[in-house]
Amino acid sequence: MKHKKTERIVDILNTIEDQLKKCHISTPRLDAEVLVGHYVNRDRSALYRNGDYRPTDEELQGLQTGVARRIKGEPIAYITGIKEFFSLEFEVNHHVLIPRPETEILVEEILRLIGNKTLQRGKILEIGTGCGAISIALATELTQFYFFAADISQKALTVAKRNARRNGVAERIFFLCGNLLESLSEQFDIIVSNPPYISDEEFKHISFEIRNHEPRTALIAGPDGTEFHQALIRNGGPHLRKGGWLIMEMGYGQWETIERLLRESQKYDYIRCQYDYAGIERVATARRR
Ligand SMILES: C[S@@+](CC[C@H](N)C(=O)[O-])C[C@H]1O[C@@H](n2cnc3c(N)ncnc32)[C@H](O)[C@@H]1O
C-alpha cells in the first residue's frame, strides 16, 4: 500500500500495523514501530513524541520496501540490519544467525563462573561465533580476558569483526576461520559454543522465517541435533586447562544425551544444566577434571 506524502507518522504506523496483521505477522504493532523507526531514523518512543512528522519521499520509499520484505516473512533484524543482544547493538545479515535472547543465559553463566572463581585474566575460546555476539558481550564485561572466536564461515567472521570494532573490543578478540577445534593447538580457560543444534527432522518443521532466511550452516546438526556437542565434548578436553569450563547451548530434549556423553567421556566433573525462562534445558556446563 502506498502512503500519501501528507500522512503523519502515527497514521502510517496504524496502516502498517493493519497490513502486517492481515498477513498474519505475530507482532504487527512492534514490527510496524521498528520498521517506521528504522526508515525515519528515530527510536520507538520518538515516533510518538513526533507523531505529526511527515516522512520524506525517500523515507517512504524505504519503508515500503521494508514492509514488503517483512510481509514475505523476512525476519525484522535482517531488514533493519541490527539486533540488540546483552544491551549492545550488533550488525546482522544473511550470513549470520540472529542472536537469540536465550543465548544471554550462556553469557551470564560464564560471568557467574568467573565471578565465583575470582579469576582475573584468561583466555576464552568460542566455537561458532556468527555475528560475534557471545564473545563481544563477554569482552565488554571481562576486560582482562582475551578471546579467540572461530567460525567455519568467513562471511560470518567479516560481520563479527565489524561488530567487535563497533563495540570497542576488537583489540582483545582474535577471529579464526576453521572447522570446530581443528586448527587450534592452545589451551583455554573456557570453551563456549552456541553450536548448530536443530535435528534434520526438526528442520523440516521449523518456521518458514528461519528455514528460508537464516544460514543453514548455523542451524542443522545431524539426526538428533547433537553432532556438534558430541565433537566438542570429544575434542574439547585437550584444549581446556585443568579446571577449565566447557559451556554449550542446547535445544529441547538434548540434555539427556549431552549429560550422558559428558559423563561417559570421564574428562569432566561439575556437570550441570541451566534452564531458560520458558523452562527449557538450555545451557550445559562441565568442568575439565
Ligand atoms: C547457532 S549459530 C551461533 C551464532 C552465534 N554464536 C550466536 O549465538 O548467535 C552457529 C554458528 O556455528 C558456525 N559453524 C557451523 N559449523 C561450524 C564448524 N564446523 N566449525 C565452526 N563453526 C561452525 C555457523 O557458521 C554459525 O555461525
pLDDT band at residue 3, thresholds of 50, 70 and 90? low
The answer to whether residue 47 sits within a structural domain is yes
H/E element holding 213? helix 208-213
The per-residue pLDDT for 44 is: 87
State the average pLDDT for the chain.
95
pLDDT band at residue 183, thresholds of 50, 70 and 90? confident
- Which residues contact residue 151 at a Cβ distance below 8 angstroms, ignoring those fewer than 6 apart? 128, 129, 130, 157, 160, 175, 176, 177
The per-residue pLDDT for 159 is: 98
Distance (Å) of CA 182 to CA 15, 35, 99, 235 = 52, 41, 25, 9
The answer to whether residue 89 sits within a structural domain is no
The per-residue pLDDT for 74 is: 97
The per-residue pLDDT for 116 is: 53
- pLDDT by residue (tens digit) across 74-100? 999 999 999 999 999 999 999 999 999
Classify 225 as helix, strand or coil.
coil
Query: Beta 145-151 vs 173-177: how paired, if at all?
Result: parallel
Q: Which pTM was predicted?
A: 0.95
In this predicted structure, the answer to whether residue 263 has a pLDDT above a threshold of 90 is yes
Q: What angle do CA 281, 258, 224 make, to 5 degrees?
A: 90
The answer to whether residue 85 sits within a structural domain is no
Quick one: 54 exposed, middle or buried, by C-beta within 10 A (0-12, 13-18, 19+)? middle
Which residue has its alpha carbon closest to ligand 1 atom 4? 130
Which ligand 1 atom is nearest residue 197's CA?
A: 1
Same domain assignment for residues 65 and 173: no
The per-residue pLDDT for 6 is: 73
The answer to whether residue 84 sits within a structural domain is no
Residue 71, number of CB atoms within 10 A of its CB: 15
The per-residue pLDDT for 59 is: 96
Kindly report which listed range (116-130, 187-201, 256-270) carries the lowest average pLDDT score: 116-130
| Choice from 151, 161, 276, 282 to test ligand 1 binding pocket (greatest atom count within 8 A of CB) | 151
The answer to whether residue 88 sits within a structural domain is no
- pLDDT by residue (tens digit) across 222-239? 999 999 999 999 999 999
Q: Which residues pair with 176 in a beta bridge?
A: 150
Q: Order of strands, edge to edge, in the sheet holding 268-275? A: 173-177, 145-151, 122-127, 188-193, 240-249, 281-288, 268-275
pLDDT band at residue 5, thresholds of 50, 70 and 90? low
Same domain assignment for residues 54 and 105: no
Ligand 1 neighbours, Cβ below 6 Å, are: 97, 99, 103, 127-130, 133-134, 150-153, 156, 179-180, 194-196, 217-218
Which residue has its alpha carbon closest to ligand 1 atom 10? 218
- Give residue 42's Cα distance to chain centre: 24
Task: Write out the residue range of the structural domain in which residue 150 sits.
Answer: 94-288
Structural domain count, the chain: 2
- Give residue 63's Cα distance to chain centre: 25
| Choice from 194, 210, 216, 234 to test ligand 1 binding pocket (greatest atom count within 8 A of CB) | 194
Same domain assignment for residues 115 and 170: yes
pLDDT band at residue 2, thresholds of 50, 70 and 90? low
The per-residue pLDDT for 211 is: 94
